Amino acid sequence: MTTLDEVSGPGRLAEPDEGITAEELQLAARNHAMPLEALRYDVTPLGLHYLLIHYDIPDISPDTFRLEIDGRVGRPLSLDLAELRQRPRITQRVTLECAGNGRALLTPRPVSQPWLVEAVGTAEWTGCSLADLLRDAGPVDGAVEVVFTGADHGVERGVEQDYQRGLPLAEALRADAVLAYEMNGGPLPPQHGYPLRLVIPGWYGMAHVKWLRQITVVDTPFTGFQNDVAYRYRQEAGEYGDPVTRMRPRALVRPPGFPDFMSRVRVQPAGPVRITGRAWSGEAPVTRVEVTVDGGTTWADATLGVDTTAPWVWRSWTFDWAATPGRYVLGARATDASGQQQPVDQPWNRGGFANNLVQRVEVVVPDQST
Ligand SMILES: Nc1nc2c(c(=O)[nH]1)N[C@H]1C(S)=C(S)[C@@H](COP(=O)(O)O)O[C@H]1N2
Ligand SMILES: [Mo]
C-alpha cells in the first residue's frame, strides 16, 4: 500500500443480491443504534443513545485541552475547560438522528454504515452558548460561515482529514446552539465527544461536531469533504447535489408485545393494546401522526402527547388498537407544520440519506384457542 486511495476506495452501491458485507458489519458493531424499546424514555439513557463515529474516538487530556476561536473575528479566543465552565450554563433537550438512518433498507443499498430505522436518540445537553462565544470573538463584516473542527482524524474516500463541518453563521448565532460538556446531567462520555461538542438543534447528526477543538469564522462557504463531498443529496456519482441539513419528519412505533429472537417479529396477545411511539422533524413541529396496521393500506390518526418542550424534541403519541388474531404490519407516519409528510415510496439518493420511509413492524397475534 503506497497511496491512500488503495486503502480508501470510492463510495459504491451494493449489487442487486449482495447481502450486508463484513465491512458494513464492522461499522455496525462500532456504531450502534437505539434499541426501539428505548422509545419509552423521554430522554434516552446514556448507553442507549445511538452512536456514529467516522474514525476513532480521540484521546484528549482535559488538562491540555483548549478550544480555539479564530478566523474572521476581531478578537481570537483560546479557552480551557475551566473557562468554558465559568460561562453561563444552558441546557437543551434535543433529538438527534443520523442522516444515514434508513440507508440499509434502500434498494439499491449504498454501502456505508447500514442503519435500519433506529439511529436516533434524545439527550439533555448542557454547556455554554455558542452565540455568546462568537459575539465575544466578534465576527467581522463579510463573515458567512463557521467551521467546526474535531480532534479526530482519518481518511475517507482517499481524502485524509480532521472531521470538519461548516455551518451558516446565522445558524451558529441561534440562541439554542450549545457547546456541550455535559450529557443527561453527567460528563460528556468519550463516544459522544468528550470533552466538548457542538449541538445544533434540528440538524441531522453530522452537523453536531464532537471532540470540538477549533471554531473558525470564514468569509467564503466552506468546501471541506463533509460538506462538499460526503453529505449531499445526489442521484449520480458525479453530481454536486444539494446539502443535507435538517431532519425530515419521522415517526417510530415502539414494537408491541414480545420479540422473536432472530426475526424480531413481535408476538402480541389478542385484546386491546395501546401502541406508543415518538415523532420528530427538524424542519417544523410535528402536527400529525397516523398509524397503519396493514402495511400502509389504511391509516388512522394517533393522539399526540403534550410533552413537547421544543420543536426539535421528539413528541410522544398513542394509538389504541383492538388486536384480533392474524398477521399485521404496523407503521406510523408523521406530518410537520411545513406540510412535509413521510413518504410511502423510498426517497432514494446515492448516499442513502434521509430515508424516512414508513417503518414496518411485523406483528403476529396468535389464536387464543390452544
Ligand atoms: N468529530 C466528529 N463529530 C461527529 C462525527 C464524527 O465522526 N466526528 N460523527 C457525526 C455524525 S455522522 C453523527 S450522526 C453524530 C452522532 O452523534 P452521537 O454519536 O453522539 O449520537 O455525530 C457527528 N459528529
Ligand atoms: Mo450521521
Residue 172: helix, strand or coil by DSSP? helix
Instruction: Specify the DSSP class assigned to residue 358.
Output: P
Whether 51 lines ligand 1, by a CB cut-off of 6 Å, is yes
**Average confidence (pLDDT) over 363-368:** 94
Is residue 348's pLDDT more than 70? yes
Taking alpha carbons only, the member of 243, 305, 244 closest to residue 280 is 305
Is residue 41's pLDDT more than 70? yes
- Which sequence spans correspond to the domains of the chain? 4-243, 250-365
Is residue 369's pLDDT more than 70? no
Given the candidates 3.40.50.150, 3.30.200.20, 2.60.40.650, 3.40.50.80, the CATH classification of the domain at 250-365 is: 2.60.40.650
Whether 211 lines ligand 1, by a CB cut-off of 6 Å, is yes
Q: How much distance in Å is there from the Cα of 208 to the middle of ligand 2? A: 9
Q: What is the pLDDT of residues 151-210, one digit of tens each?
A: 999 999 999 999 999 999 999 999 999 999 999 999 999 999 999 999 999 999 999 999
Percent of the chain with pLDDT over 90: 95
DSSP string, 260-304: -TTT--EE--SEEEEEEEEEE-SSS-EEEEEEESBTTSS-EEPEE
Q: What is the pLDDT of residues 276-308, one digit of tens each?
A: 999 999 999 999 999 999 999 999 999 999 866
Q: How much distance in Å is there from the Cα of 31 to the middle of ligand 2? A: 10
Residue-level pLDDT at 10: 87
Do 4-243 and 250-365 agree at the fold level? no
Is residue 329's pLDDT more than 90? yes
In whole angstroms, what is the distance from residue 293 CA to residue 121 CA? 25
Mutation pick for ligand 1 pocket among 30, 31, 52 (CB with most ligand atoms within 8 Å): 52
**Average confidence (pLDDT) over 60-65:** 97
Cell representation of residue 270: 389478542
Q: Which atom of ligand 1 is nearest to the CA of 98?
A: 14
**Average confidence (pLDDT) over 49-69:** 98
Mutation pick for ligand 1 pocket among 53, 165, 167, 225 (CB with most ligand atoms within 8 Å): 53
Is residue 370's pLDDT more than 80? no
**Average confidence (pLDDT) over 237-256:** 97
Determine which of 180-184, 307-311, 361-365 has the lowest per-residue pLDDT on average.
307-311
pTM flag (> 0.75): yes
**Burial track 177-195 (b if 16+ CB lie within 10 A, e otherwise):** bbbbbbbbeeebeebbbbb
CATH class, 4-243 region: alpha beta
Determine which of 3-17, 119-133, 342-356 has the lowest per-residue pLDDT on average.
3-17
**Average confidence (pLDDT) over 69-86:** 98
Is residue 309's pLDDT more than 80? no
What is the chain's mean pLDDT, rounded? 96
Mutation pick for ligand 1 pocket among 124, 210, 232 (CB with most ligand atoms within 8 Å): 210
Q: What is the pLDDT of residues 24-34, one digit of tens each?
A: 999 999 999 99
Residue-level pLDDT at 4: 85
